[in-house]
Chains A and B, each alone.
Chain A
């Protein structure tokens, strides 16, 4: 079933255009939305639509995550800085590495740890901003970092696979998950049993952590740069194709089974995916600016609604508020839509 057949929803919300491309979006626990921009700014937008703009970086903000406290935000920039922005728009510099692009940052709220990559070095930074441990024991630049769900282990992706560290002993006794090729993204399954990567060669690779056995999923049209996980049943949801491609990890795992595909029919590349925090829904952003919300279901035909029309720019950021009531979508030309789905009505 195509999106066009299922329907179009026009939820009320906020539509704005900022004058730089949007590079990231995330909601805090209290519902404050942070949006990072290509001009170094971070916009803080409250539920009523009030906006504060914080000049966090010189040059582009390359990554944006929610900090340990769940209330403030961490950004890395192509000015080589790692910056913390608080809800009241205060900023503080946590790290400065001139000439480096800081594009990889991960946070574990459970483990109370932040990790940042600087070339092939990974640094663990504690809540007070001190470097607790660091290691350059990676074969190439670290392209992605992810803490496991409990925050005790850290996966670092690079050429040739993934290095696994224990957060408590980073720098000592790494374990390696190896697979030839360039790994550009990494994530853990919600139960912590699998580590999955996106690859330069337009495929997914993965390992069962317990025994290091390999998984591979192919057939993508582009690199699967944006991925997310549905917790129950554990399902890996990915961009990189002309629909949302989801791999169920329950039972014997995804190997040798066809994936669940939702959001077909648009004929455009999915560039961003974001799983709803409560319900089995996935928001998908497309290469032409469209955004759809799709049911993630294997046992019957999935329903989908389109909430944002095509405008020719690429969806470059997508985030749900933690209660799942609002969805923010940003594009690489600076269009920002914030939908309030509690008030939506079908047309």
Chain B
């Protein structure tokens, strides 16, 4: 037998949105809103507390969060076994879905959910991680950030942050709060909400739009503290204006994620690869990553490459030097 086979072309991948956030932040409110409002879309929803959803919807499935380590023996390489099974079953239904929504429990690490969509071939063939939405309670997110690892990780993984209960916090405090969230995660879109009031289009099927935000981020000015080693979740943004050599980049990012993947929570990038007419888009969670050709560069468009790392104990100087060495 051979370890590779041709796969016939398949239907388009269904976008998957992951909802994280502490208990009481407003996840259930948001889910109920998405399920009840008239939008003409068909969503499948995978929840962890079936009883909390007050709606009798046949597309709501109850899940037990079953995080499995993969056989490589690494503690950060984990997947959600229950999701693999449930999504496989959902796809047997007649008709397709506009989106799949996955709610995680309050303290859950979003990594295993995201990694499931990178690792499992059957899931990957039918569904694609679109975005991670983190709902935070504007009133007590600071306290949570100070007393737990999980809160910072949920911020770090977010593509969209709903700063909920914003009406209960003075405007000046909200600005300070957003600044704090930005130091953890500069790429996420932050929406201030009351009772999770937001249009579904702001959180579902976002990918194409959100990637442009990576390009908009200014690269870090690397000052004195660039060698700082501490436990806080921070980010490093890098930019190169010369085309990147694909082999050098693969070698570098592969080694980097293998060695530092425990502390690098998320990585994202848009690259100008030498010899390719298209943007190369990639994202990673810990040691696992996926990459794809994006839309072509315009005729007169200025090309550059941007990378963002979010994690603990990031060595900005080393990262910058490593990326610079990938220039073709």
Find the B residue at minimum CB distance from A220. Answer: B1
Interface contact B94-A78, CB-CB below 8 Å: no
Contact of B89 among A101, A119, A181, A268 (CB under 8 A): A101
Q: Does A120 contact B (CB under 8 A)?
A: yes
Residue of B nearest to A179 (CB): B71
Report chain B residues within 8 Å CB of A140: 64, 66, 68, 81
| B232 is an interface residue with CB less than 8 A from chain A | no
Interface centre among B69, B71, B84 (most CB of A within 10 A): B71
Q: Tell me, in angstroms, the Cα distance from A60 to B93 when the chains sit together.
A: 5
Asked whether, in the complex, the Cβ of A23 is within 8 Å of the Cβ of B1, the reply is: no
Chain A at the B interface: SS class = loop
- Residues 34-46 of chain A, each 1 if its beta carbon lies under 8 Å from chain B, else 0: 0001110000000
Does chain A have a CB within 8 A of B6? yes
Asked if A159 is at the interface of the complex by the 8 Å CB criterion, the answer is yes
Partner of B94, one of A39, A182, A184, A314: A39
Any A CB within 8 A of the CB of B201: no
Report A239-256 residues with CB < 8 Å from chain B CB.
241-243, 245
**Is B297 part of the binding interface, using a Cβ–Cβ cutoff of 8 Å?**
no
Q: How many angstroms between the C-alpha atoms of A120 and B94 in the bound complex?
A: 27
User: Is A37's CB under 8 angstroms from B94's CB?
Assistant: yes
Q: Do A38 and B94 touch (CB < 8 A)?
A: yes
Q: Are A21 and B94 in contact (CB under 8 A)?
A: yes
Given contacts A219-B3, A268-B5, A268-B6, contact A141 B82 (CB under 8 A): yes
Residues of chain B within 8 A (CB-CB) of A21 are 92, 94
Among A159, A245, A332, contact of B68 (Cβ-Cβ < 8 Å): A159
Interface residues of B in 61-78 (CB under 8 A from A): 61-62, 64, 66, 68-71
Interface size class of B (residues with CB under 8 A): 20 to 34
Q: How close is B31's CB to chain A, nearest CB, in angstroms?
A: 14
Residues of B within 8 A of A180 (CB): 69, 71
Chain A-chain B contacts (Cβ-Cβ < 8 Å), number:
107
Docked pose: A21 CA to B91 CA in angstroms:
10
Q: Which of A184-210 contact B (CB under 8 A)?
A: 184, 200-201
In the complex, the chain B residue whose C-beta lies closest to that of A99 is B62
Which 6 pairs between the two chains have the least Cβ-Cβ distance?
A241-B1, A99-B62, A20-B94, A39-B94, A60-B92, A99-B50
Q: How far is the CB of B198 from chain A (nearest CB, A)?
A: 26
Residues A99 and B61 in contact, CB atoms below 8 Å apart: yes
Which B44-102 residues have a C-beta within 8 angstroms of A?
A: 50, 58, 60-62, 64, 66, 68-71, 81-82, 84-86, 89-90, 92-94
Q: Determine if B7 is an interface residue (Cβ-Cβ < 8 Å).
A: yes
Q: Is B2 an interface position by the 8 A CB rule?
A: yes
Nearest CB on B from A3, distance (A): 15
Q: Are B8 and A268 in contact (CB under 8 A)?
A: yes
A312: which of B8, B92, B120, B121 is its contact (CB, 8 Å)? B8
Beyond A141-B82, A222-B121, whether A62 also contacts B68 by CB under 8 A is no
| CB < 8 Å neighbour of B81 from A62, A141, A245 | A141
Map CB proximity to B onto A94-116 as digits: 1 under 8 Å, 0 otherwise.
00001111010000000000000
Q: Which residue of A lies closest to B81 (CB)?
A: A182
Residue A12 at the B interface, CB < 8 A?
no
B290 contacts the other chain (CB 8 A): no
Do A242 and B5 touch across chains, with their CB atoms under 8 A apart? yes
**Complex Cα distance A269/B122, Å?**
13
A103/B5 contact (C-beta < 8 A), A62-B92, A223-B122 known: no
Chain A residues whose C-beta falls within 8 Å of the C-beta of B93 in the assembled complex: 38-39, 59-60, 78
Residues of A20-79 at the interface with B, using a CB-CB cut-off of 8 Å, are 20-21, 23, 37-39, 58-62, 78-79
- Is A228 at the interface (CB under 8 A from chain B)? no
A127 at the interface (CB under 8 A from B): no
Are A101 and B86 touching (Cβ within 8 A)? yes
A58 x B58 contact (CB < 8 A): yes
- The answer to the question of B299 belonging to the interface, with a C-beta cut-off of 8 Å to chain A, is no
- Residue from A37, A38, A60, A287 in contact with B7 in the complex, judged by beta carbons closer than 8 Å: A287
Asked if A267 is an interface residue, CB under 8 A from chain B, the answer is yes
Least Cβ distance of A318 to chain B in Å? Answer: 16
